[in-house]
Structure 1
Amino acid sequence: MKEASTNKEKIITLLKILFPVLITQLGLYSMNFFDTTMSGKVHPNDLAGVAIGSSLWVPVYTGLSGILLAITPIVAQLMGANKKNDVPNVVIQGLYLSICISVVVIIIGLFTVDPILHMMNLEAEVYSIAKGYLIALSFGIFPLFLYAVIRCFIDALGFTRVTMFITLASLPINFILNSLFIFGKLGFPKLGGIGAGVASAITYWCIAFIAIIIVVKKHPFKKFNIFNTFYRASIKAWKEILIIGIPVGLAIFFETSIFAAVTLFMSQFNTITIASHQAAMNFASFLYMLPLSISTALTIVIGHEVGAKRFQHAKQYSYIGIGMALSLSLISAAFIYFFRSQVASIYTSDIHVLKLTQEFLIYAIFFQLSDAIAAPIQGALRGYKDVNMTFMMALISYWIIGLPFGIFLAKFSSLDAFGYWIGLITGLAAGAICLSIRLRIIQKRYSLSIT
C-alpha cells in the first residue's frame, strides 16, 4: 500500500479499500438477509425459527471468526515492515487454527443446541425450524472459517476488491439455492426456513473454493506461494494469532451475543413479537455493515502505517474514518425514519408483524450514532494491535450496563419488549464513549514514542 501524504490522498486511499469491503460485508450479510426475508414469505413460524437459529449462530460465528481477524493486522504490519517472506506461514497457521475452531464448534453444538432451544419454550413448529436450520448450516462451518482466513490475507494486502468479487459471485448462488430449498422450486423439496440453512451451507463451500483458486492462480497472491510449502503447526505462531485474536473475538462476541440474548428474552413474548423484533434487528444489523466496513478498512491502513512507523498518518486515518462513519449514520437514520413502512414490508405481509416491525425500527435509529463511533474505533485499535481493553469495555458496556438496564425496563415498566431495545442503545452508547477515550490514550502513547 502506497504512502499517502495529504488528507485528500488518505481519503482516496481509504475509500479505495473501504468500498470493496463494504460491498463484501453487505454481500456476506445478504445471505442472512435472504434467509430471513425469504423464510418470512413462507410463514411467520419460518421467520421466527430462522430468527432464533441465526440469533444463536451469528454471535458464535462472528466471535470465533473474530479470532481469525488477527491475521489482518499481523499481515498488514508485516507488509508495512517489508517482511513479506513471513506472510505465508502466518496464513497457513491461521488455516490450521480455523480447522480446530470448526471442530470445536461442531462438537459443542451437538451437546448444546437442544438444551438451549428447550430452555426458550418455543412453539413446536418454531423449535423444529430453528433446530433444522442450525443443523443444515453446520455443514458449511469448515469452509466458512477457512474463507475467513483467506479473506483476511487478501484484505491485509489491500486488495479488498478481490474479496468483493468473490462475495458478489456467491450472492446469485445463494439466492437461487434459497429459492430451490425454501420454496421447493424445480422439483426440490420445500423445506421452508430449514432450506435457508441448506442453501447457506452450500454457498459457503462455493466461496471457499473460489477464494482458494484465486490465491493459488492469480497475481499478486500466487507469488506468496501460500500452499507450496508445508508448514508444521506452530504453537508459537498460534500464540501470536490468539494473543491478538481472542480479545478481538471476545469483543465481537460480547457485542453480537447481547443481541442474541435479547432475542432469547423475547421468547417470552408471542411469535408476532419475535418475528417483528428480528425483522427490525435484521435491517439494523444490515445497516451496521457501513461502520463495520470502515472498521475493517481502518485496521488495514492503520496496520500498514504502524508497521512503517508512520504514527501521525495512522492518527489522521482514524479521524477520517470516524468522520465518514458519522456522516453515513445520519443518512441511514433518516432512511429508517422516512421509509420504515417500506422496510417492514420487505420482511412480511402479515399486518400484525408489519405494524410492530415499524415500531421497533424507530428504536433502531438510535443504534446508528453509537455504532458510527464504536465500530471505526475498534478497527483503528486493531490496527495498533491494541485489543485487550476493547473486549473488557465491550463486556462492561453491553453485559453489565446494557442488558441489565434492558431487563429492568422490560420487566418493571410499560415498555415491555421495547425496554430491551433501550437497554441495547444504552450499552452501545457506553461502549462508544469508552472506546473513544481508549483511542486517545493509544494515539498519545504512540506520539510520545517518536518524540
Structure 2
Amino acid sequence: MESSLRTERKSFRFVKIVMPILITQVALYMVTFFDILMTGRYDTYHLAGVTIGSSFWVPVYTGLAGILMSLTPIIAQHIGGRRKAEVRPSVQQGIYVSIALAAVVFALILFIFFPIIRSMSLEAPVRAVSIDYLKGMSVGLAPLFAYTVLRSFFDALGSTRVSMFIILISAPINILLNYLLIYGHFGFPELGGAGAGYASGFTYWIVFGIAAAVALSGKPYRQYELLRHWQLPRWTYWKETLFIGVPIGMSIFIETSIFSVVTLLMSSYSTETISAHQVALNFTSLMYMIPLSISMGATILVGQSIGANLSSDAKQYSRLGILFAIGFSVVAIVVLLVFREPIASLYTVDPAIIVLASQFFIFGALFQLSDAVQAPIQGALRGYKDVNTTFIVGFLSLWVIGLPIGYLTATFTNLGPFGYWIGLIAGLTIGAITLSFRLRAVQKRIERELL
C-alpha cells in the first residue's frame, strides 16, 4: 500500500481503479440487458415472462452474491496490512461458501419460486416463459457464485482490469448464444425467452473458466498459490465472511428486491405496463452501473487505506467517490429526460410500450441523484467494514417508508403504476441522507481510535 498521496494523484488512482470495474459491471449487466432487449424484439409475451423471471432471479442472486463481496474488504485489508499468507485461505473458504450459496438459490428456485409463479394471475404464455427462463439461468448458478469469489480476489489486489477483460471476452459470447437460442438460427432450437436464460447459464461457465485460469497461471497471482494446501471448511473464515457479508448481502437484497416486488405488484396491470416498466427499469439499472462501480472502487481504496492505518486517505477516497457519482448523476438525468423515447424504441416496436416506458423514464431520472449519493457512501462504509447500518437504513427507507408510499400513491391517486416509482424516489432520498450522517460518524470514530 503506497503512502498518502496528493489529492490529484488520489483522483487519478480512484479513476484507474473504477474504470475497469465500470466496464466489468456494464459488460456483466449486459447479460441481463440483452436478455431483455433481444427477448423484447422477439415477442411481448416472452418479454413479460423474462421480466417476471428476472424479478425473482435478480434480488436473490445479487443478495446472496453480495455475501461474497465481503471478501473484497477482507482481502484488501490483508493486502494493505501486508498479510499475504491470509489471502489464500480466504479465497479457498470463499469458494466453499459460494457452493453453499448456489445450492441455496437452486432450492429457492425449485421449491419456492416455481410454485409462486404458477399461483400468480399471469397469462399462460408469460407463466411458462418465466419458469423456463429460471431453469436456464440455474444452469450457471455454481460457476457464477464461484466467479464472484475470484473477482473479489482480483479487485482486492487492485487488479480490476482482469475482471474487465474476462467479461469483455464473454459478453459477445452471451449475445451470440442469445441470438442462436432465442431466435433458433443455424439449426438451434427456437426457445424465445427461455433461450435467454440458457444462454446466460452457459456464459457463466465460460466466465468462471477464464477467471480460474488467470488466477492460477497469471504471473501476479501465482504467488498466492490458491490451490496449494487446500483446507477443509473452517468456521473461523466462514464466520468472518458471513459476519461482514450477510449484512452486505441483505442490504443489496433489500435494494434489488424492492424493484422486483414493485414489478410483481404491477402484474395486476396490463402486459404492456409490465413490459414498459421493465424497459425503463432495465435501462436505469444499466446507468446505475456507474455509481455502483464507484461504490466498489471506494470499498477497495478505503479498505486498503484503513489496513495501512491511513485514515485521512480513506476519508478523501470516500469524498472523491461521492463527488464523482454526483457529477455523473447530472449527465444521467439529462440523458433520461432528453432521449427517453429513442431509448424505449431500442427495446420494442410496440408504440403503446414506447409511450409508457417514456413516462416511466421521467420518474427514473428523478432518483438518479439519490442513487448517486447513496451508492458511494455504502461502498465507503463497506471499506470500513461498517455494514450493519446500510442494511438497517435500506430496510427502513425502502420497505418501511418507500414501498407503503408507493402503494398508497399507486392505489389512491391517478398516477397508477407510476406511483410505485414515487415511493422508490422517496425511499432512496431518505436513505442517502441518513447514510451520509453515518459515514461522518464512522470516520470520526476511526480518527479518534488512531490518535
1:8 paired residue number: 8
- Cα separation, 1, equivalents of 2:197 and 2:283: 19
Residue 65 (structure 1) aligned with residue 65 (structure 2): yes
1:309 paired residue number: 309
Indicate the larger mover: 105-114 or 144-153: 105-114
- Cα separation, 1, equivalents of 2:108 and 2:47: 25
**In the alignment, is the contact (CA less than 8 A) between 1:273 and 1:353 conserved in 2?**
yes
Q: Compared with structure 1, are the counterparts of its residues 4 and 162 closer, same or farther at alpha carbon in structure 2 (3 Å cutoff)? A: farther
- Residues 331-379 of structure 1 show CA distances to partners (whole Å, capped at 9, x for unaligned) of 0110111111110011100011111110000100012101100000000
- Cα separation, 2, equivalents of 1:370 and 1:116: 33
Q: Compared with structure 1, are the counterparts of its residues 328 and 156 closer, same or farther at alpha carbon in structure 2 (3 Å cutoff)? A: same
Q: Which runs of 5+ in 2 are unaligned?
A: none
- Residues 383-420 of structure 1 show CA distances to partners (whole Å, capped at 9, x for unaligned) of 00000111000100110000011000011111100000
- Residues 264-291 of structure 1 show CA distances to partners (whole Å, capped at 9, x for unaligned) of 0000001000000000000010000010
Q: CA deviation at 1:450?
A: 2.5
- Residues 174-220 of structure 1 show CA distances to partners (whole Å, capped at 9, x for unaligned) of 00000000011111011111000010000000000000000011021
Q: CA deviation at 1:108?
A: 2.2
Q: CA deviation at 1:104?
A: 1.4
**In the alignment, is the contact (CA less than 8 A) between 2:94 and 2:149 conserved in 1?**
yes
- Cα separation, 1, equivalents of 2:337 and 2:197: 32
1:448 paired residue number: 448
RMSD of aligned Cα (Å) = 0.8
2:366 paired residue number: 366
Show the 5 A alignment for 1:47-446.
Answer: 47-446=47-446
Q: TM-score, normalised by structure 2?
A: 0.99
- Cα separation, 2, equivalents of 1:9 and 1:119: 56
Which amino acid is the alignment partner of residue 6 of structure 1? R
- Cα separation, 2, equivalents of 1:89 and 1:138: 28
- Cα separation, 1, equivalents of 2:51 and 2:170: 22
Q: TM-score, normalised by structure 1?
A: 0.99
Partner SS state of residue 148, structure 1: helix
**In the alignment, is the contact (CA less than 8 A) between 1:409 and 1:416 conserved in 2?**
yes
Q: Compared with structure 1, are the counterparts of its residues 18 and 4 closer, same or farther at alpha carbon in structure 2 (3 Å cutoff)? A: farther
Which runs of structure 1 show a deviation greater than 6 angstroms over 4 or more consecutive aligned residues?
A: none
- Cα separation, 2, equivalents of 1:43 and 1:432: 38
**In the alignment, is the contact (CA less than 8 A) between 1:58 and 1:256 conserved in 2?**
yes
Partner SS state of residue 254, structure 2: helix
**In the alignment, is the contact (CA less than 8 A) between 2:4 and 2:310 conserved in 1?**
no
- Cα separation, 1, equivalents of 2:351 and 2:431: 36
- Cα separation, 1, equivalents of 2:380 and 2:98: 24
Which amino acid is the alignment partner of residue 206 of structure 1? I
- Cα separation, 2, equivalents of 1:38 and 1:239: 42
- Cα separation, 1, equivalents of 2:232 and 2:361: 50
- Cα separation, 1, equivalents of 2:450 and 2:110: 52
- Cα separation, 2, equivalents of 1:3 and 1:63: 35
Indicate the larger mover: 168-177 or 103-112: 103-112
Q: CA deviation at 1:222?
A: 1.1
- Cα separation, 2, equivalents of 1:194 and 1:115: 18
- Cα separation, 2, equivalents of 1:34 and 1:173: 12
Which amino acid is the alignment partner of residue 85 of structure 2? N
- Cα separation, 2, equivalents of 1:118 and 1:3: 58
Which amino acid is the alignment partner of residue 338 of structure 1? V
Q: Compared with structure 1, are the counterparts of its residues 4 and 164 closer, same or farther at alpha carbon in structure 2 (3 Å cutoff)? A: farther
Q: CA deviation at 1:119?
A: 3.8
- Cα separation, 2, equivalents of 1:110 and 1:317: 43
Q: Compared with structure 1, are the counterparts of its residues 48 and 3 closer, same or farther at alpha carbon in structure 2 (3 Å cutoff)? A: farther
Which amino acid is the alignment partner of residue 64 of structure 2? L
**In the alignment, is the contact (CA less than 8 A) between 1:77 and 1:307 conserved in 2?**
yes
Partner SS state of residue 219, structure 2: coil
**In the alignment, is the contact (CA less than 8 A) between 1:120 and 1:264 conserved in 2?**
no
**In the alignment, is the contact (CA less than 8 A) between 2:298 and 2:317 conserved in 1?**
yes
**In the alignment, is the contact (CA less than 8 A) between 1:4 and 1:13 conserved in 2?**
no
1:45 paired residue number: 45
- Residues 83-124 of structure 1 show CA distances to partners (whole Å, capped at 9, x for unaligned) of 001100000000000001111111222111222213431110
2:21 paired residue number: 21
**In the alignment, is the contact (CA less than 8 A) between 1:133 and 1:194 conserved in 2?**
yes
- Cα separation, 1, equivalents of 2:226 and 2:330: 42
Which amino acid is the alignment partner of residue 401 of structure 1? I
Which amino acid is the alignment partner of residue 399 of structure 1? W
Which amino acid is the alignment partner of residue 71 of structure 2? I
Q: CA deviation at 1:423?
A: 0.4
Q: CA deviation at 1:2?
A: 2.9
**In the alignment, is the contact (CA less than 8 A) between 1:279 and 1:347 conserved in 2?**
yes
| Percentage of pairs with the same residue | 49
Q: CA deviation at 1:4?
A: 4.5
Which amino acid is the alignment partner of residue 123 of structure 1? E
Indicate the larger mover: 67-76 or 226-235: 226-235
Partner SS state of residue 267, structure 1: helix
- Residues 53-80 of structure 1 show CA distances to partners (whole Å, capped at 9, x for unaligned) of 1111000011000000000000000000
Which amino acid is the alignment partner of residue 36 of structure 2? T
Which amino acid is the alignment partner of residue 335 of structure 2? F
Indicate the larger mover: 108-117 or 387-396: 108-117
Which amino acid is the alignment partner of residue 207 of structure 1? V
